[in-house]
Amino acid sequence: MSTVRAAREPTHYLYLAVIGAVLLGIVLGLAAPGVAVQLKPLGTGFVNLIKMMISPVIFTTIVLGIGSVSKAAKVGRVGGLALGYFLVMSTVALAIGLVVGNVIDPGHGLHLTQALAKAGHAQAATGGAEGTSDFLLGIIPTTLVSALTGGQVLQTLLVALLVGFALQSMGASGAPVLRGVEHLQKLVFRVLSMIMWAAPVGAFGAIAAVVGATGWAALKSLLMIMVGFYASCAIFVVLVLGLMLRLFAGVNVFALLRYLGREFLLILSTSSSESALPRLIAKMEHLGVSRPVAGITVPAGYSFNLDGTAIYLTMSSLFIAQAMDRPMSLGQQISLLLFMVIASKGAAGVTGAGLATLAGGLQSHQPALVDGVGLIVGIDRFMSEARALTNFAGNAVATVLIGHWTGELDRDRMHLVLSGRLAFDESAVEAAQDTSPVVPAQAPATA
């Protein structure tokens, strides 16, 4: 545990710095609103840094994500069943986020468009409104690499899909290229992690400007979206996952969550479930799930079963649209979030990737709303824990269910473990780290 504690120290300090910056921005916004509004460029600058990383993040994660789908599909029954389950659960999570976001209407009454979003209007004006044919033709880039350098998100997505499927069809000969993309992704995420150290400055400027422009209404709206998000995650875990687990496997979800209590504490301290991946595999095997099922379902779930992230992207998009007086129709919401579900695969375990995905989705569908990402910077860290915990719980439940459906779950052993009569051997974690199955070649999910 000492190595884990040492590894998380920098992130821990960043978290504290963001909290301090948010509180300082609130105080300044209330005490000197005129000065606070002038600090908006700090938030805008940080958002621009995030936007700079959108194309490389989406390209690398989609290419590697398609590679992991291919690996999962090769295992036949388990992989296909897992991917189908992930798709259904992601859809349910999106629906919950949409319903709660539209019911609580967290951004209503802020009217930030005129006060703080001039840059967004300028971007929308340069984009222009085009017909369906022009929109579809605009998805095709001029060259294979122009999408990556031009900041066109949908073009980047198209190129990433083409490259990913091409590498998949190449088989073993495409493996070196995939490894190269994996190294490129590590570089991209390292740059993104460096950018996130500017988050306190961006959060300070964004929160100060918003509070200075709207006063207590901004604090009320930010608190409302955080409470709504936590409530949505709780509803999903307790009601949706709990009901699935009880109906199909006859397991109490609270017993399973209690069994994974140590992992939840680890995730809570790091705001990411990445560090708990080997422990989850080991604990699922100890619970009675066969090694092949645990070795397939857990890594695939870390990339494709991002229920908490789906809820976060849903509610954040609705909040920004409402706050900037540009509410989205149901059709716009669905198309935007379908894009985000695809674009977010494999990236959520990296600090800042959630913001990059959010900005990318808004830029591709509603360019005038991109500046609103600055509103989320200050509270993103407060929401990251719930995202990570929800994603982790979803993957644990998925592993048990897939094991049950495929007949690869020892139910007698599971009852012994959940009742506390068969304790988990911590030395199994080291064994899992040394001999764990090959993890899909992208960042484990869930910040």
pLDDT, tens digit, 9 for 90 and up, residues 177-191? 888 988 888 888 788
Residues 296, 78: Cα–Cα separation, whole Å? 8
- Residue 137 exposed, middle or buried by CB count within 10 Å (0-12, 13-18, 19+): exposed
Is the overall model pTM greater than 0.75, yes or no? no
Q: What is the pLDDT of residue 441?
A: 37
Residue with tokens 């798709």: 87
Q: In what helix (H) or strand (E) does residue 376 lie, and over which residues does it extend?
A: helix 373-405
- Amino acid identity at 338: L
Average pLDDT over residues 260-267: 83
pLDDT band of 440, cuts 50, 70, 90: very low
Q: What is the pLDDT of residue 353?
A: 63
Q: 356 CB contacts (<8 Å, ≥6 apart)?
A: 50, 51, 53, 54, 57, 58, 192, 347
Q: Where are the alpha helices (DSSP H) in 260-329?
A: 261-270, 277-287, 291-304, 307-323
The pair phi, psi for residue 242, each rounded to 5°, is -60, -40
What class, spelled out in words, does domain 2-435 have in CATH? mainly alpha
Instruction: Region of 346 please: left (phi>0), alpha (psi -120 to 50) or beta.
Output: left
Average pLDDT over residues 352-357: 67
Residues 361, 396: Cα–Cα separation, whole Å? 28
Q: Is the pLDDT of residue 119 over 50?
A: no
Residues 185-209 pLDDT 10s: 888 878 877 887 887 888 788 778 7
CA dihedral 392, 393, 396, 397 (to 10 degrees): -150
> Cα 135 to the chain's mean position, in Å?
27
Q: What percent of the chain is predicted at pLDDT more than 90?
A: 14
Q: What's the whole-number average pLDDT of the chain?
A: 76
pLDDT band of 429, cuts 50, 70, 90: low
Domain ranges of the chain: 2-435
Of residues 129 and 139, more confidence is placed in: 139
Q: What percent of the chain is predicted at pLDDT more than 70?
A: 76
Residues 56, 62: Cα–Cα separation, whole Å? 10
Q: Is the pLDDT of residue 78 over 50?
A: yes
Q: If you average pLDDT over each of 44-53, 155-164, 266-275, 436-445, which comes out highest?
A: 155-164
Other beta carbons less than 10 A from residue 87's beta carbon: 13
Residues 326-351 pLDDT 10s: 888 888 887 777 776 666 555 444 55
